[in-house]
């Protein structure tokens, strides 16, 4: 059976095979006959950057199950690698795709089993159910249940989360961190899941290149209105090297962290989906939330996850009014959960937690700015990536060349020549986003970005 590399290659036969495997896990011997299917885009332009996603609605007969006599509708969400052969093979070499599949296939189930046993099932972590996944040298796809078909939805990232929604996702994040911390205290995680062994120093150096491109773009935008942003501009110009190095030290693990947990790594509004209910007053309140898109997951300081979440997904007005409430909710959830599961963290009172929050805030501020520039800007909707050839023969040649070149590229990735080339390529890719901010013709983007930066400046975050 040929595994599709992209949504356009999904076939009737492939759907029958994966759905038969899915049903047979619950009802041995079951088969699925697909009667019809429809493939639709899984995200709007500008809402997904690191993969190709598709929704697939399938009608079929599930023989050998209790539903054998009636048609069954399967609402699926499929995720494929995206980009050129070099892009795809780079993802494979870095094991990004393998780690995400492990999250859906093994790790979340393991964490939920642990918290059910040690925490009375009070700290469950919710992710979409895995229908099918494959991760080999040549094939990769993850197929989950499409939770939007049962009412889960993203909130508008241009508006930012309101208090009930941010508290819900903060609690879910704290559960993930607490359960993983408790579970892996006595477990040899890296021996069990070697794909999670990440060269964090190389990762940090590569991220530094991206951050520097955005940092220079931010500086240009601030210079355009230097009378308005003069204190900010002075600190950005004088402290650039120290700020970027401090962020990268946190990612590389050079800055000491009290804790290490399983971190989602990309907690912005499109990567968590809420199930809402309208109360008697007409308010839409979250009753559940699911975390999706685990492509950046790794073991690291949980405060980086929390910083990223709050600075990408809330407005300055909400942070000014309710930041302490958000942070206390996280801290209370984390400490209660770890204590219940027999993994209490010593010397982790709220004051200790706040010291860590202040230490990591520079990471949250600049990652928040970068993510907002990509996701709130209009130019993000036009962001396109070149794709692998649709011709199988040519695609195979491209893949072979990519596999030969990548080991060499990794060895010289941090040499001055490669860094210079990388910066030039990134400046070209991100030029429309950076120009949009510099021109100041997107009020939401301008406000979100400079609210984060000026607030950070006013609170001493840039005094490094």
Phi, psi of 272 (to 5 degrees): -140, 140
Mean pLDDT of 117-122: 96
What are the two backbone dihedrals, phi and then psi, of residue 23, each rounded to the nearest 5 degrees?
-65, -35
- Predicted local distance difference test score (pLDDT) of residue 255: 86
Task: Compute and round to an integer the Cα radius of gyration of the chain.
Answer: 23
Mean residue pLDDT across the chain: 92
Which residue in the block uniquely carries the two structure tokens 């300055």? 316
Question: Which contacts qualify for 344-351: CB closer than 8 Å, 24 or more apart?
Answer: 345/181, 345/258, 345/259, 348/258
297-326 per-position pLDDT tens digit:
999 999 999 999 999 999 999 999 999 999
Rounded Cα distance, 42 and 75, in Å: 12
Give pLDDT tens digits for 345-401: 999 999 999 999 999 999 999 999 999 998 888 877 666 677 888 888 898 898 999
Residue 441 DSSP class: -
Work out the burial of residue 424: count CB atoms within 10 Å of its CB; fewer than 13 is exposed, 13-18 middle, 19 or more buried. Answer: exposed
- From residue 449, give the alpha-carbon distance in Å to each of 130, 183, 236, 462: 36, 37, 14, 15
Strand order in the sheet with 71-80: 31-41, 52-63, 71-80, 140-145, 130-135
Q: What are the pLDDT digits (tens) for 17-53?
A: 999 999 999 999 999 999 999 999 998 766 666 789 9
Rounded distance between C-alpha atoms, residue 137 and residue 403, angstroms: 11
* CA atoms of 247 and 266, how far apart (whole Å): 16
pLDDT digit string (tens) for 213-230?
A: 999 999 999 998 889 999
Residues in Cβ contact with 291 at an 8 Å cutoff, skipping those fewer than 6 apart: 125, 126, 127, 172, 176, 264, 267, 271, 272
* pLDDT over 70 (residue 133): yes
CB atoms within 10 A of CB 81: 22
Given pLDDT bands bounded at 50, 70 and 90, which one contains residue 331?
A: very high
> Residue ranges per domain, the chain?
7-80, 99-126+153-458
How many whole angstroms separate alpha carbon 274 and alpha carbon 166?
Answer: 11
Architecture per CATH, domain 99-126+153-458, reads as Alpha-Beta Complex (3.90)
* 243-263 pLDDT per residue, tens: 999 999 999 988 888 899 999
| Rounded Cα–Cα distance for residues 382 and 378 (Å) | 8
pLDDT of residue 382: 67
Pair 39, 105: CB distance under 8 Å = no
From the list 266, 248, 252, the residue with the least C-alpha distance to 208 is 248
The highest-confidence range among 35-49, 83-97, 356-370, 429-443, by mean pLDDT, is 356-370
Which 3 state secondary structure label does DSSP give 256? Answer: coil
What percent of the chain lies above the pLDDT cut of 90?
70
What does 402-420 look like in DSSP terms, one character per residue? HHHHHHHHHHTTTSHHHHH
Please give the pLDDT value at position 440: 85
* pLDDT, tens digit (0-9, with 9 covering 90-100), for 448-460: 999 999 999 999 9
- Bridge-based pairing state of the strands 298-300 and 261-263: antiparallel
C-alpha distance from residue 101 to each of 106, 208, 296, 342 (Å): 8, 27, 12, 29
Burial of 237: CB neighbours in 10 Å, binned 0-12, 13-18, 19+:
exposed
In the prediction, which pLDDT does 379 show? 77
Model pLDDT for residues 151-176, shown as the tens digit of each residue:
999 999 889 999 999 999 999 999 99
- Residue 216 has a pLDDT of 94
């Amino acid at each position: 059976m040929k595994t599709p590399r992209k949504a356009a290659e999904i076939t009737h036969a492939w759907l029958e095979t994966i759905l038969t495997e899915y049903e047979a896990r619950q009802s041995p011997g079951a088969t699925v006959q697909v009667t019809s299917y429809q493939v639709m885009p899984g995200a709007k332009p500008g809402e997904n950057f690191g993969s190709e996603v598709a929704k697939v609605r399938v009608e079929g007969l599930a023989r050998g199950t209790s539903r054998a006599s009636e048609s069954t509708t399967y609402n699926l969400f499929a995720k494929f690698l995206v980009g050129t052969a070099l892009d795809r093979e780079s993802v494979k070499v870095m094991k990004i795709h393998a780690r995400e599949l492990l999250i859906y296939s093994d790790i979340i189930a393991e964490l939920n089993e642990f918290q059910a046993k040690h925490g009375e099932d009070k700290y469950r972590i919710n992710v979409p159910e895995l229908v099918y996944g494959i991760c080999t040298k040549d094939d990769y796809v993850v197929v989950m249940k499409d939770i939007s078909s049962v009412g889960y939805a993203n909130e508008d990232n241009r508006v930012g989360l309101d208090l009930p929604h941010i508290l819900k996702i903060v609690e879910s994040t704290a559960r993930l961190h607490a359960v993983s911390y408790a579970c892996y205290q006595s477990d040899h995680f890296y021996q069990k899941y070697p794909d999670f062994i990440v060269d964090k120093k190389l990762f940090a150096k590569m991220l530094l290149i991206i951050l520097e491109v955005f940092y220079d773009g931010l500086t240009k935008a601030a210079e355009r209105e230097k009378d308005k942003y003069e204190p900010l501009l002075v600190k950005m110009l004088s402290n650039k090297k120290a700020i970027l190095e401090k962020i990268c030290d946190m990612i590389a693990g050079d800055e000491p962290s009290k804790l290490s947990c399983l971190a989602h790594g990309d907690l912005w509004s499109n990567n968590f989906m809420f199930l809402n209910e309208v109360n008697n007053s007409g308010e839409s309140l979250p009753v559940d939330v699911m975390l999706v898109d685990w492509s950046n997951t790794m073991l690291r300081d949980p405060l980086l996850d929390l910083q990223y979440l709050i600075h990408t997904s809330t407005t300055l007005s909400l942070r000014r009014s309710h930041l302490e409430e958000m942070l206390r909710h996280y801290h209370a959830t984390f400490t209660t959960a770890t204590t219940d599961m027999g993994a209490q963290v010593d010397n982790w009172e709220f004051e200790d937690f706040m010291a860590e929050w202040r230490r990591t805030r520079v990471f949250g501020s600049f990652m928040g700015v970068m993510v907002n520039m990509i996701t709130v800007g209009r130019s993000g909707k036009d962001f396109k990536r070149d794709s692998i050839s649709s011709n199988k023969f040519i695609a195979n040649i491209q893949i072979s060349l990519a596999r030969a070149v990548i080991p060499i590229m990794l060895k010289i990735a941090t040499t001055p020549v490669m860094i210079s080339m990388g910066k030039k390529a990134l400046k070209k890719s991100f030029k429309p986003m950076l120009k949009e901010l510099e021109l100041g013709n997107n009020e939401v983007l301008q406000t979100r970005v400079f609210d984060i930066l000026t607030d950070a400046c006013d609170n001493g975050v840039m005094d490094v």
